[in-house]
Structure 1
Amino acid sequence: MYQTVFLKISRLLLILTIFACTDKGSETHLPYYDTPDFTPVFLNSEDEIDARVSHTIAPFSFTDQNGAIVTEKDIEGKIHIANFIFTSCVSICPVMTKHMKILQTEFQNDTEVKMLSFSVTPWIDDVKRLHSFAEKNEITSPNWHLLTGSKGTIYDLARKSYFAEEDLGFTRDSSEFLHTEHILLIDKTKRIRGIYNGTLQLEAEQLVKDIRILQKEDDV
């Protein structure tokens, strides 16, 4: 309940701020999120960004559905989207995967946009199972990686790098199950720029628009 209300308020604040701050044809900029409570920080100057936004995605190494090793080097200088699923989930995961496929359609051939779906049951979701899941769900983009590895490492990355459960989950340890509907948008400098409810199609559609904004931002 808290997370749903928070996301709605954040989205409203973001829209109002964009309208308030856009002037003289200037480019719209997405906020930065530097803390697990997801308080948006709006900055345009590179000096301000470097001074005020210290949080970035930590190094990692996992295996995808094709047996390939995927590390932070694969997202270096690229926009990426992250979410957290498990193949036996029958609640939010199928809906999230359906909505992630909207992104697959939009960015199928764009090598500058990566999609990372981390398994939260990696002790079950081995490469073979992830491969079968990809085939079943028509996950065909070479830029969409379903990832497995150490449970503790995935949970630590999810909570401390991606703030996957906001401040409610930041202090939990790896023994507590991770299950979140959030999709995170990360820019080319590995900074968090958006949080979305992956169970809502409108949020997925907004994510597509925000990725386009990030792409334009890099050109400014």
Structure 2
Amino acid sequence: MLQTVFSKNSLWGLLLLSASCTQHDGISKLPYYNTPTFTPIFVDSEKDLAAKVPHTIGKFSLRNQNGVVISEKDIEGKIHVADFFFTSCGVICPRMTKSMKLVQQAFVDDETLVLLSYSVTPWIDSVARLKTYSLTNGISSKNWHLLTGKKADIYQLARRSYFAEEELGFSKDSTEFLHTEHILLVDKRKRIRGIYNGTLVLDMQQLIADIKTLQKESD
């Protein structure tokens, strides 16, 4: 797996704080990410957004730990955070789940934020298994969905929509196992706004700060 010391957004956050490089009405704006290279794009006006950043998260339909179908309609007009895990993972995934719990705790009962944890072993992670995992790990938010479904659907969504493994995974298909420590931040219009290392507390602090920045952005 790709290992990084700081996420791209951690580094950009430091640059934004030190240089105040992109300001609008006193609010620092986060970059957009349009390709699996995660080259940051800054947009000055709304009219430039569609042309400069056409990429959005695609359609999906999966079941959560309660057996409820969750689709792209459930994230319409909401900020969401996504990660990719599997319940039998021994080291990295438990750390990522703890990181996601930090986000859960920072935004308790905030219905404007959705957390999506996609299983990369959906043939093992049944609804019942995800339910047990959620109870064992103290996942209590009604807006945090552990998702399972068809492997091909999840892998395509991960690699093509979320760029989960960056350039390394974009050209892979569902026959190659997907595993990444990345956590992605997506805005209300389904555009990627941040990538973070889910094993680092510093990155989670940056993620929480970036969510608050997105919440201040106009719709």
Both proteins in one fold, TM over 0.5 = yes
The 3-state SS of whatever aligns with 1:146 is: strand
Q: Tell me, which stretches of 5 or more residues in structure 2 are unaligned?
A: none
Post-superposition shift, 1:107?
A: 1.4
Q: Give the Cα separation in 1 of the matches to 2:14 and 2:2.
A: 20
In structure 2, the partner of 1:21 is 21
2:127 matched to 1:137? Answer: no
Aligned-partner Cα distance in 1 for 2:24–2:8: 27
The 2-side partners of 1:124 and 1:24 are apart by 47
Corresponding residue number in structure 2 for 1:85? 85
Structure 2 CA distance for aligned equivalents of residues 153 and 49 of structure 1 = 28
Question: Amino acid of the residue matched to residue 74 of structure 2?
Answer: D
Taking the aligned partners of 1:148 and 1:216, their CA distance within structure 2 comes to 32
Q: Does the 8 A contact of 1:29 with 1:44 survive in 2?
A: no
Structure 2 counterpart of 1:35, which letter? T
Tell me which residue corresponds to 2:216. Answer: 216
2:179 matched residue in structure 1: 179
**Cα offset for 1:4?**
1.2
- Cα distance in 1 for partners of 2:69, 2:24 equals 46
Distance 1:10 1:80, change over 3 A: closer
Deviation at 1:16, TM superposition (A): 1.7
Write out aligned runs for 1:144-163 (5 A).
144-163=144-163
Q: Deviations over 1:173-198 (max 9, x none)?
A: 10000000000000000000000000
Contact 1:64/1:127 (8 A) holds in 2: yes
2:60 is matched with which residue? Answer: 60
Alpha-carbon offset, residue 22 of structure 1: 4.7
> Structure 2 vs 1, CA of residues 184 and 84 (structure 1 numbering), >3 Å: closer, same or farther?
same
Indicate if the aligned counterparts of 1:79 and 1:187 stay in contact, CA closer than 8 A.
yes
CA RMSD of aligned residues (A): 1.7
Return the letter of the residue paired with 2:124: I
Q: Write the letter of the residue equivalent to 1:217.
A: E
> 2:122: which partner in 1?
122
Aligned to 2:188: 188
- Aligned partner of residue 4 in structure 2, secondary structure: helix
Q: Distance in 2 between matches of 1:191 and 1:60?
A: 15
Q: Per-residue deviation at 1:24?
A: 8.6
Distance 1:209 1:137, change over 3 A: same
Distance 1:136 1:25, change over 3 A: same
Which string of whole-angstrom CA distances, capped at 9 and with x for unpartnered residues, describes residues 134-165 of structure 1? 00000000000000000000000000000000
The question of whether the paired residues in 1 share the 8 Å contact of 2:79 and 2:114 is answered with yes
Q: How many residues align?
A: 218
Contact 2:16 / 2:28 at 8 angstroms: preserved in 1? Answer: no
Rate the CA distance shift 1:23–1:194 in 2: closer, same or farther, 3 A. closer
Q: Which residue of 1 aligns with 2:73?
A: 73
CA pair 23-211 structure 1, distance change in 2 beyond 3 A: closer
TM-score (norm 1): 0.94
8 Å CA contact 2:33, 2:39 repeated in 1: yes
Match of 2:116, SS state, is strand
What is the deviation of 1:15? 2.7
SS in 2 for 1:4: coil
Tell me, in whole angstroms, the C-alpha distance in 1 between the residues paired with 2:129 and 2:26.
47
SS at match of 2:185: strand
Contact 1:108/1:143 (CA < 8 Å) preserved in 2?
Answer: no
- Separation (CA, whole Å) in 1 of partners of 2:22 and 2:188: 23
Q: Distance in 2 between matches of 1:139 and 1:91?
A: 18
